[in-house]
A and B are shown apart, each in its own frame.
Chain A
Amino acid sequence: MSEHGNWAEWVYIGVVCALLVWVGAEAWNVERLVEHVPADAEVIKVTGQQWFWSFEHEDGTKEIGELHVEKGKAYKFEVTSKDVIHSFNIHDYVVLIDAVPGRINIVWFVPDEVGEHEIQCREYCGLLHYNMRAKLYVEEST
């Protein structure tokens, strides 16, 4: 055994370790960037319950089953639930976070185009889960 070198194994170990470090660092960095809420984001309280979504803006305006936001503005969703676990999802903007009773989970996004988008529950929450939807209306900024 002693007559052969093992440099190839060390190169292999080095490459694998470097790749693992890189993958971990990249994922950590992206998570950090995505979770960093901009300071000027407007807070919207989101509540899920069987089987609809309700929203409360910073100025106290409440909406049920629909949400109106402005293009180009940052929004911070504070998501919770009144009964069972739901999951708040705006598919077109890759927004997805669980709505858990007794917890406030945070996710933020910036709508960049005027239009209508589907909001839906992504955690099976009972009989009408399939229809636990809301509409996101992105409007021109005033």
Chain B
Amino acid sequence: MRSKIGLLVVFTIIFIIPTLNYAFAAGDEPGEYLDRRVVIWNLFFRMMVVAFTIGAVVSGTMVWLVWRFRESNPNAKPTKYEETGEW
């Protein structure tokens, strides 16, 4: 359990710390303005990268799952319930 919590903490830290650094390093000098077009587009771009990556991983996993565990796969082994016919 401890290692699982550790894993969660590591994941969280990896993503949160860079974001906070970026947030609090934002400049506030007069005459230096952010370009809202760039900032908003960048957010959209990053979110799309995440969305399409996750989409690819999830759909890839599902395709693999269906292919690997199809009945006609020579490596397929019936579960113990299927063997005995008891459900």
Contacts and interface: CB of A to CB of B under 8 A. Distances in A.
B33 A74 contact: yes
A17 B34 contact: no
B8 interface: yes
B35 A110 contact: yes
Contacts of A10: 4, 7
Contacts of B33: 38, 74, 110
Nearest to A39: B30
Interface string B28-49: 1011011111011011001100
A23 B50 contact: yes
A127 interface: no
Contacts of B16: 21-22, 25
B36 A25 contact: no
A36 B43 CA distance: 17
Interface of B: 4, 7-8, 11-12, 14-16, 19-20, 22-23, 26, 28, 30-31, 33-37, 39-40, 42-43, 46-47, 50, 54
Interface of A: 10-11, 13-15, 17-19, 21-23, 25-27, 29-30, 32-34, 36, 38-40, 74, 93-95, 109-110, 112
